[in-house]
Amino acid sequence: MKAPKNFKIDKKNLLNLALIFILIASFFFFFLSKEKDKKKINKNLVSNKISAPASSEEDTKKAELIGKYLEEATFDKPIDVSWKGKIMTFFHGGTDYGIEKIPKDENYPYFYAGNYSDAFPEHVAMDGTVEVTGKWTGITCAYQNTVFKRCVPAVEVKEIRMAVPLENAQEFDWSQPYAFFIGKLSDDNYQDVYQEVFTGGAHCCFRYKAFIQTGDKSIIEVSLDEQGYTLWPKDVNNDGIDELVGHDSTFDYWNASYADSQAPEIILSFNSNKKSFDLNTDLMKKSAPSNEDLERKLEEIKNDKELNNRGNIKGFPSPLWGYMLDLAYSGNKKSAWEFFDLAWPKSEREKTQFKKDFQAQLRKSPYFKEISALNSLIQ
């Protein structure tokens, strides 16, 4: 059949047809994308041995993140959470916290709790175990060098609850401290009190006093040197006595920004004879890594894009020499230099200068004498 001679294409009808075509194509594209994402998430679930279906929005989001997010992320819709945990450390002048989850969570063992309200009391007496109610807003990679060793959930705090009261609080100075801790710092049957004061700097510092109760009910007051990082009470060797676990800040800003600075772990124990807290090198000792371990660690650092995009001053990323510090502070200085030889990418002249500068900075540590003795005893 031939069209009438006066037949004309209606522009409005043509536009409508085009819109219908676009809508149909968009629908199919959306459906295919969803199926692809679903398969990807299922693959992540299988690879991480998660067989049970997600029972809540939180579980669903976690399932999506496992094996998928190794970088920072912000959720479009924050998730309501109520998580229990033990505080590991303070950030930002005592208002934000690094928390280890209770019960143990293999996928996300820690989380960053950001306090942007008056949810946390100005002065706190606690043993460090808390319940945090708030919004899970995303994933943060902050402090993965020194505290978490990985990217962790970021939680915006609505409320923090804790249950341990401080007896005889009037005996202590409440004018400055951010926190009091009740624990057992000495080898006796009496609880001790540990006081933290933040000095108010952007990235520094903390001052501490320990009040050690003795058998005759007298109190020994012990002041500690100013610290760049928090010193947290923790029973490292499960003997019923708390050590103080923190980080040596000697390398802050050395060839890196503060966020990318490397700070090796330190462990202090109360010395009843000297009435002081001393570096416990016995608890810091670790077995030397094998050559295969060093090679695996090098590959791990090289393949971590998040780490290598940060702290890359002078062409030698801070995670590389940070691992050297970890080795030295665990009595494995020989392994540290072996790793250095394995990892160094530049010329011999630059390598020699870096080694010289590294050693000079290490000598500035207040723990240099003890660390040197630890390495000479082992190596």
The CATH number that domain 58-161 falls under is 2.40.50.200
Arithmetic mean of pLDDT, 341-370? 89
Please, which pLDDT band fits residue 161 given cuts at 50, 70 and 90?
A: confident
Regarding pTM above 0.75, the answer is no
In this prediction, what percent of the chain has a pLDDT beyond 90?
26
> Over the stretch 14-46, which tens digit does the pLDDT of each residue have?
566 666 666 666 555 544 444 444 343 333 333
If you write DSSP's letter for every residue of 207-223 in order, what string do you get? Answer: EEEEEEE-TTS-EEEEE
Q: Which segment of 51-65, 130-144, 196-210 scores lowest on mean pLDDT?
A: 51-65
Nearest to residue 128, comparing CAs of 269, 245, 267, 280?
Answer: 245
Give CA–CA dist 88/149, Å, rounded.
13
> Over the stretch 175-214, which tens digit does the pLDDT of each residue have?
444 566 677 888 887 778 787 777 766 667 778 888 888 7
Please, which pLDDT band fits residue 170 given cuts at 50, 70 and 90?
A: very low
Arithmetic mean of pLDDT, 103-125? 70
Q: How far is CA 166 from CA 99, 195, 203, 211, 361, in A?
A: 21, 12, 29, 13, 41
Secondary structure element (H or E) that encloses residue 140, with its range: strand 129-140
pLDDT score of 127 more than 60: no
